[in-house]
Amino acid sequence: MRQNKGKTKRVPTIFDIINLREKDILNTIRKFSKNPNRCPYCGSTKVVKFGKLRTDDIKIQRYYCKECHRTFNELSGTPLEGVHSIKNALLVAYFKLELKCSDYAISKALDIPYPTVRYLSNKINNNTKFFKSLLVLIRSATSL
Ligand SMILES: [Zn+2]
């Protein structure tokens, strides 16, 4: 079989993703989302670091806009904004985009409530390119 010129895009296996920590995924996301130097609400560049949001495994950088006085975080404005578990989002993306599973099958396979799968599935539909790139990046981050 002939390979494409340039880089070969590989996708992760389920084991690659299952073994990942949220922290690893966040670090991968950071590689292609630069630190925000602009407020997503008003576009001002007067933003400063403003503590961190903590979950069990990860710390998400928060920012404060000195212009409009709103806060946001490093996932604001990305398709992962508002997502509770980045890992679940990635798992749903994998089952949906790579394995072509239905939302119902994904809900059963991963034991994630159907409404949550629907919510993530909609995000993935609207940002297919982002999630495909994320899966490719995860693969390159996990294969040594
Ligand atoms: Zn602002």
Query: Tell me: the pLDDT tens digits for 48-87?
Result: 999 998 876 788 889 999 999 999 998 888 899 888 888 9
What span, in angstroms and rounded, lies between the C-alpha atoms of 32 and 120?
Answer: 20
The pTM assigned to this predicted structure is: 0.80
Position 114 scores a pLDDT of: 98
The domain 35-77 having CATH identifier 3.30.2310: the answer here is no
Which residue's structure tokens are 């990860």? Answer: 58
pLDDT digits (tens, 9 = 90+) for 87-133: 999 999 999 999 999 999 999 999 999 999 999 999 999 999 999 98
**83 CA → ligand 1 middle, Å:** 22
Domain with CATH 2.20.25 in the chain: 35-77
**107 CA → ligand 1 middle, Å:** 38
**49 CA → ligand 1 middle, Å:** 13
Strands (E), the chain: 47-54, 59-65, 71-73
